[in-house]
Chain A
Amino acid sequence: MSANTAVVERYRNSFLKEVEANVEEGQWVKMCMQCGVCSGSCPLGPAWDHPPQEIFMMIRAGKRDEVLTSSSMWMCTSCYNCIVRCPRELPITHIMHGLANYAHRLGIAPKNQPTRKFAKLFWDNLSKKGRVNELKLGIALYFMNGLVSGIKTALKMAPLGINMVKTKRMSPMEYFGGHGIKDTKGLHAILKKAREIEAAKMQKF
């Protein structure tokens, strides 16, 4: 490291470095020019405690806990509006997914955040048999906040479920077995290996 680089490094806060090293597309964060087009373009904009442009500035300001424990990134609907409108072409949607994933991985994302819970249910559901079982996913979703609220939700959702069954877009039989791929063993091996490679790349901060 040259003397000059060493001086520069001292002035870079470590949370930005951490995001650049460990968060998907994190190397883009420093490119944000704070115009706010992303925040104005987000369909759930008003629901974010800190809209994307604020998150980017908070990362640069080293506000690690405030960013990673925020529910903000979990408001992303993956509509990609921010991506196509960003004048600097930051892959904002992916950075938000990356931040959410990183906070979840570290175990400091808000515990009862519904989208965090649902995203985990979704992944567990699809990776088990290689394809999504919509019925089991729906039932798991209704009951993700416990039995009592689950029964309430299930009752509220019953007419919708009946409509789906009537139109053959859902089948109670999916609960027993259901769709899946043949080579689940191979898929599980692929995912295990991918996780190992990714875990090995994570840098300590």
Chain B
Amino acid sequence: MAKKEYSFYPGCSSQKAASGSNYQVSVDSMCDVLDIQLNTIPDWNCCSASIGYAEGGELPRLALSARNMALSEQHNAGQDIVATCAACWLATRETKDRLLHSEHLMKETNEALAAAGLNVKANQNVRHMVEVLIEDFGYDALGKHVKKPLEGIKIAGYVGCQTNRPFGIQGESFENPKYLDKLVETMGAEPVENYQKKVSCCGGALAFSEPEKSQALIKDIIEAAYDGGADMIVTPCPVCQMNVEVYQDQINSKYKTKFKMPVVYYSTLMSVAYGKDFKQSGLDGQVIAPNKLNAIAKK
């Protein structure tokens, strides 16, 4: 298959020594196997995620994403914009929709961009990496690269919120999307059937500002994974990954639970199944070690 190229928006958490740096490592490994070339948007900026709204009004927020889109149109013309972070994807796609839907927002956004000599047309598709995998490759093609099937691992597919709503993945329902389970199966592992917290919220940015309320939500997400017999949770979102993985000690001390549930990315699973080693799969970035996955990676 010929090399596929995309205009890549990596996002803040993907940077070196940032919370999702291990996500980026595994995405690079996965793309290497699939012959995907990610052309990073030069000088991309933060999208302000879904918490920038208080200080940044509508137009400043649109302008942030529009700057990235303008740079992408200029440097990576003709390519789809692809994001790996759910919030980056959502903010950029939302911006595209609003600009195309409203002439005056398009005009005002371009007035703002002109202050830095930029102009946006919003003419590139804005996609999540998961869409690329499912739509441009498909499960069969993804399965062909599996060298080490993830046999004997049971995995709860935690889709979360922003990869799922409001846009979601074409052909999947908002309430019970199946793509993560299918990806798990494609890699040779066993998905948890009827994982009831698969689209529940982890608190998102409120994990920082309202830790108690958010940790109550996270507790239920982990508990449901244990109830389904999961060895680990898999997610396509860096905020979900961090929130569900790193607060388990605090949750344990508050709720007297004994959680030790690893949380990995779909790209971690794919890298390991594709034969990449421990480090290439970003497994050294796990706070809670996914032992069964580590064992396969080290084989």
Contacts and interface: CB of A to CB of B under 8 A. Distances in A.
Interface stretch (A6-14, A32-40, A163-171): A163-171
Contacts of B209: 114-115, 117-119, 141
A104 B52 CA distance: 12
Interface stretch (A51-59, A60-68, A183-191): A183-191
A81 B45 CA distance: 27
A149 interface: no
B208 A131 contact: no
A198 B58 contact: yes
B15 A179 contact: yes
Nearest to A157: B250
Contacts of B246: 160, 163-164
Given A116-B54, A118-B209, A169 B285 contact: yes
Main SS of chain B's interface residues?
loop
A187 B58 contact: no
A159 B249 contact: yes
Place the interface of chain B in its size category. 35 or more
A37 to B, nearest CB: 13
A173 B55 contact: no
Contact of B112 (A101, A171, A197): A197
Contacts of A75: 206, 210
B134 interface: no
A189 B115 CA distance: 6
Main SS of chain A's interface residues?
helix
A169 B53 contact: no
A193 B209 CA distance: 30
Contacts of B52: 119, 122-123, 126
A24 B213 CA distance: 27
Contacts of B285: 167-169
A169 B54 contact: no
B205 to A, nearest CB: 7
B161 A78 contact: yes
Contacts of B204: 77-79
A17 to B, nearest CB: 18
B66 to A, nearest CB: 8
A191 B162 CA distance: 25
A24 B57 contact: yes
Given A114-B209, A183-B43, A190 B112 contact: yes
Contact of B201 (A81, A84, A115): A81
A79 B115 contact: no
Given A83-B166, A159-B249, A187-B67, A134 B55 contact: no
A134 to B, nearest CB: 6
A126 B161 contact: no
B59 A43 contact: no
Interface string B265-293: 00000000000000000001111000000
Contacts of B205: 77-78, 115, 118-119, 122
A23 to B, nearest CB: 9
Contact of B18 (A85, A163, A170): A170
Nearest to A91: B166
B149 interface: no
A145 to B, nearest CB: 11
A80 B67 CA distance: 25
A10 to B, nearest CB: 29
Contacts of A193: 63, 111-112, 114-115
B51 A119 contact: yes
Given A134-B13, A167-B22, A123 B48 contact: yes
Contacts of A169: 17-22, 285, 287
A97 B60 CA distance: 14
A24 B287 CA distance: 39
Contacts of B250: 156, 160
A129 to B, nearest CB: 9
A167 B287 contact: yes
Interface of B: 12-13, 15-22, 43-46, 48-60, 62-64, 67, 108-109, 111-118, 161-162, 165-166, 168, 174, 200-201, 203-206, 208-210, 213-214, 217, 246-247, 249-250, 284-287
6 contacts: A84-B166, A123-B52, A141-B209, A167-B286, A194-B57, A198-B57
Closest 4 CB pairs of A and B: A186-B116, A119-B54, A78-B50, A123-B55
Interface of A: 24, 43-44, 47, 75, 77-81, 83-85, 93, 97-98, 100-101, 104-105, 109, 114-120, 122-124, 126-127, 130-132, 134, 138, 141, 156, 159-160, 163-164, 167-171, 173-174, 179, 181-183, 185-187, 189-195, 197-198
